[in-house]
Amino acid sequence: MTKRAVLALADGTTFEGRAFGASGETVGEVVFNTSMYGYQEILTDPSYVGQIVTMTYPEMGNIGANAGDEEAGLPHAVGMVVRSLTKTPSNWRSQETLDAYLARHGRVGIEGVDTRRLVRHLRTHGAQTGIISTENVSAAALSERARAAVSMEGLDLATGVSCKEPYLFTTPTPDVFLATGDKQPEPELKYDVIAYDYGLKRSMLQYLVDVGCRVTVVPSHFTAEQVLAKKPHGVFLANGPGDPAAVKGADRTVAALLGKVPVFGICLGHQIMALALGGRTYKMKFGHRGGNQPVKDLTTGKVEITAQNHGFAVDDASLKGKAVVTHINLNDGTVEGLAVPDARAFSVQYHPEASPGPHDARYLFSRFATLMAGS
């Protein structure tokens, strides 16, 4: 028997639907993602810690779930909102249904929601805290509890999801079409890279290995002195959740590394690099989440269609004279890329590894390798 579920927003707006995944309640910032596919990569992206993800594409669950598509060992999104959930997946890699996958990991979902109405509401009024509940609780009471929940602004979530100890990563991107019994070629690992784990995705590490990097992943609190003692060829600043200005000591650590070793930052790593340069960040109204964000490279004039997932952005005015803005978002003009040539450092707000999304920007991993080769 299908169980009723309710999504209640902090401003009192409510949506009724049917429960899937685990039973119970979950509270988080309600956001939306415009990707048409890749829901498992989205759910397991650590950047979604503390967030309930609304998928704008109506049909979800049609490819099921499998271990190979995970960006981390478990879903980090605390809830999921969809229009229509497929009960019977049809994909040769499927190992279980999306419903079973979320239930196994204790994540609450709601289907049958008018997601067009919900997304329009979030675009107009902004991302806000909400609660999904399968319990017999009034919508008004749920909204009241959502209003009392902690805001995403000012939260250091990166430290909580970061690894506890350093570890080595040397696995390239898997070839899912490789014939049974065939061995995947291993890239020559020429560069030793330190990767700061602020909530990184597995695919980022794989693409670094693909371009010849032997990656040592370190916790967010790893000091600049500890990094330099390892004499790496480069430092990678990963993505992650929460407010970049709240990540303990990250800006000071990166500031101490700039100019001493090549640096490449993505998403939260991009924002932390901006803070290290003396810039500022701010909370966006509803952020950028999806695989269809147009970004213009100001150095070439070319436009890339990019994958993005962020609710904070860099204030361009705060970086005048400190960094070069290399990329902008063509939808709203926000900063999408920075470069500090004298410090051999660059960063992008978007996700060149995609997962899911277009592959337009994957060349940036090779650019990082070239930068290290010339250092």
356 contacts 365 by C-beta, under 8 angstroms:
no
Give catalytic status of residue 76 as yes or no.
Answer: no
Is the entire prediction scored with pTM above 0.85?
yes
- 105 phi, psi to nearest 5 deg: -100, 5
Same domain, 181 and 114: no
- Residue 184 in this model has a pLDDT that exceeds 90: no
Over residues 294-337, the pLDDT tens digits come to 999 999 999 999 999 999 999 999 999 999 999 999 999 999 99
Over residues 201-239, the pLDDT tens digits come to 999 999 999 999 999 999 999 999 999 999 999 999 999
Summarize the confidence of residues 173-195 as an average pLDDT.
Answer: 87
CA angle 20, 24, 26 (to 5 degrees): 90
Give catalytic status of residue 353 as yes or no.
Answer: yes
Same domain, 207 and 164: yes
Same domain, 129 and 200: no
- Give the pLDDT of residue 124: 98
309 is in an annotated binding site: yes
Same domain, 252 and 286: yes
Does some domain include residue 332?
yes
| Annotated active-site residue in 233, 310, 327, 351 | 351
Query: Of 8, 248, 35, which Cα lies nearest the Cα of 130?
Result: 8
**Count of domains in the chain?**
2
- Domain end residue (candidates: 148, 173, 205): 148
Write the CATH number for 169: 3.40.50.880
- Domain end residue (candidates: 94, 128, 148): 148
pLDDT interval class at 185 (50, 70, 90): confident
Does some domain include residue 153?
no
Percentage of residues in the chain with pLDDT exceeding 90?
Answer: 94
Same domain, 255 and 324: yes
Does some domain include residue 38?
yes
Does some domain include residue 350?
yes
Burial 94-123 (b: 16+ CB within 10 A, else e): beebbbebbbebebbbbbbbebeebbebbe
Over residues 85-127, the pLDDT tens digits come to 999 999 999 999 999 999 999 999 999 999 999 999 999 999 9
365-342-268-330 Cα dihedral, nearest 10 degrees: -80
51 is in an annotated binding site: no
Summarize the confidence of residues 338-357 as an average pLDDT.
Answer: 97
Same domain, 100 and 212: no
Query: Of 239, 124, 262, which Cα lies nearest the Cα of 193?
Result: 262
Same domain, 179 and 54: no
160 is in an annotated binding site: no
- Domain end residue (candidates: 97, 121, 148): 148
| Annotated active-site residue in 267, 270, 304, 336 | 267
Same domain, 175 and 111: no
Same domain, 83 and 216: no
268 is in an annotated binding site: yes
Same domain, 140 and 163: no
- Give the pLDDT of residue 2: 81
Same domain, 163 and 121: no
Does some domain include residue 356?
yes
Same domain, 29 and 165: no
- Give the pLDDT of residue 1: 66
Query: Residue 367 sits in which domain range?
Result: 158-373
Write the CATH number for 9: 3.50.30.20
Give catalytic status of residue 213 as yes or no.
Answer: no
